[in-house]
Structure 1
Amino acid sequence: MSADPQVPLRADARRNRDQIIAAARSIFSDFGPEVPMEEIARAAGVGVGTLYRRFPDRDALIRAVAVDNFARVLDDARQAAEQEPTAWLALVRLLHQSVELHLSVQLAMLSKKAHEILKEDPAIASLRDELLVELEAMVRGAQREGTLRPDVAEGDVALLFALLLRQLESRSPEVTRLSTERSIAIMIDGLKAQPGTPLPGRPLSRHDIH
């Protein structure tokens, strides 16, 4: 159970909610969603009672962070598609620059607890599907440009990104961020249209990864 998102909040209540979500996003990104709620309240600069008034339990907070985060990623994807001169550059920008994308993958696919909470959530499902549609458009556009290898689809890119992040657990957030950036750079090089090892089977679409 979570607070009704349709009920208008007072300015101070909205500010507290935004601070809690921002703190939780940062902490979840570095340490996962199992961090004690007291630490999140402290990072947000609010009391534990305030946190629990807005989010009655951890599940409600994880769900709110995930919805907020997927919406940010979707906005990132759409801005990249609109602002970059090519689909390839839009894809590279999304993979490299979206910190929110990293957290969305961690919550939706890498954290067992978060996955259980989010897998049946209709708001998350809708945002995830919209994001995959944007990714599909980038992939197909880059293939038409001749910059992305022709034997992959958006499901391949999404799964490769998720598998890459799964391998990057570290006790040091700095090492995790550095290794993520380096590994994404290697991944992007492997996606470029160039002679390479033929891939087995068929390209995986967004429908294959649900």
Structure 2
Amino acid sequence: MTTPETPLRADARRNRDQILVAAREIFAERGADVAMEEIARRASVGVGTLYRRFADRETLIRAVFRETFQVVADEVHAALTEEPTGWAALTRVMRQSAWLHVSVQSKSPTVTAVVRADPDTSRLRDHLLDMLGEVVRRAQDEGTLRRDVAVGDLALLFMSVVNQAPSLTSEAARLAPGRVLAIMMDGLRAPAAGELPGRPLTRVDLNFGDRCPD
């Protein structure tokens, strides 16, 4: 059971938020094994301040992933609640792909080990994937999303939006996410122009190490 956190003063909260933002950005760019000193520099805080807020790398990783899963889950819930159709909810969720880049998967063995070992992080992750599955179900039931895709396919598409080629010009980097997303949405629309190879990729294919039901 998680112990409730003691409320922080405004300056301490600000430092904590800056550290989490910096860590999330660096984890997305380079993985979670980057030096803690570099995270502190990105956050414009001292290393001592970082370690007062987060005792070690594992604590920081848990905090980043818990917050990210929760924020994205809140966004997906809002889309399901507020959008008139499943397709509109899906489109809105796809625009959150910058957050989902770090939320859904990480190539870092450190992150994999920490997330698997933390019940709260795993629970938030699974809750998020449950809601993404509901977005898929609604859009497919209304006939707007092709039926040969699943949550795992969406997770890969999310990450494709933000994993841009490093050699893009500044203009191309600005235009690319919107263009890639529009192309993806056209490819996801039903009726589909043709069949996809293989089978739909599910949450099990994301290889979290703990099999989840579809």
Q: Shared fold (TM-score greater than 0.5)?
A: yes
| CA pair 6-177 structure 1, distance change in 2 beyond 3 A | farther
After superposition, residues 2-81 of structure 1 pair within 5 angstroms as: 6-11=4-9, 12-81=11-80
1:156 alignment counterpart: 153
Alignment partner of 1:125 is 2:122: yes
Amino acid in the other structure paired with 2:195: P
Amino acid in the other structure paired with 2:27: F
Show structure 1 runs of 5+ residues with no match.
Answer: none
TM-superposed CA distance for 1:59, in Å, is 2.3
Root mean square deviation, CA, Å: 2.9
Q: Secondary structure at the match of 2:95?
A: helix
Q: 2: distance between equivalents of 1:169 and 1:114?
A: 24
More helix by share: 1
Q: 1: distance between equivalents of 2:147 and 2:31?
A: 35
Q: 1: distance between equivalents of 2:95 and 2:51?
A: 35
Amino acid in the other structure paired with 1:36: A
2:187 to 174, 185, 190: 190
Q: 2: distance between equivalents of 1:125 and 1:173?
A: 38
Farther-moved stretch of structure 1 (57-66 vs 84-93): 57-66
Alignment partner of 1:170 is 2:166: yes
After superposition, residues 90-129 of structure 1 pair within 5 angstroms as: 90-105=89-104, 108-129=105-126
TM-superposed CA distance for 1:31, in Å, is 4.1
Q: 2: distance between equivalents of 1:60 and 1:169?
A: 31
Q: 2: distance between equivalents of 1:182 and 1:144?
A: 27
- Deviation per residue, 1:139-175 (Å, 9 max, x gap): 111112211112222233224444x369645277966
TM-superposed CA distance for 1:137, in Å, is 1.1
| CA pair 21-116 structure 1, distance change in 2 beyond 3 A | same
- Deviation per residue, 1:41-86 (Å, 9 max, x gap): 2332321111112212222212211111111110110111112111
1:143 alignment counterpart: 140
TM-score, normalised with respect to structure 1: 0.80
Q: 1: distance between equivalents of 2:169 and 2:67?
A: 22
TM-score, normalised with respect to structure 2: 0.79
